[in-house]
Structure 1
């Protein structure tokens, strides 16, 4: 056996770099695709790309809800089941349901005329249904 025959069975340094570069590019592309998909979902659900701020509107139960006033306490006479979370901030969104009334169910969650987003510091942002019932 010659020395040149031994060297041919191992992959060259250049081909290993090429494979490593392809893996890095594929991984980077997957990250970019995942981030773009999440931003698109966020845009469709909250009507903004500004994930760091309170959304101007929220889509829930097939309807759009527009941002309203900020209050320091929840209104009495309603129940507030949590229906979603605004990520990545982790702000919970609650459906505002009058006590003792019937409601339409969508995917097991209550549809409502109003939503409430809970921000830090005990502040709540009210969202009203855009349009009519």
Structure 2
């Protein structure tokens, strides 16, 4: 059991430092997005460009998560440009808010093509 003794100056400072840290973390979490994006491996990128089937559970493709992304940069497309400059074979990008609701998304090949019954990409008509 704990005692009822008052906190020392050092313990009090440590307590408030912990509270401030938690408040800053919560402030940052509620005012930024978490961005997920899929980077295609060379094989899947080739298949996507030639309208062939993309393997969506390919072990060589990577799904990357960036935390604390600016809402303004996501909305005006600046973050998308940065991601595509660093990873040119991005297939999709999705932004989630603090409640894990999807707030923004972009898809490369699915915007230009649709999948037929066999799973191949065909142009939108």
TM-score normalised over the length of structure 2? 0.31
The one of the two structures with greater contact order (alpha-carbon pairs below 8 A, sep at least 6) is 2
TM-score normalised over the length of structure 1? 0.30
Larger Cα Rg: Structure 1 or Structure 2? 1
The structure with the largest helix share of the pair is: 2
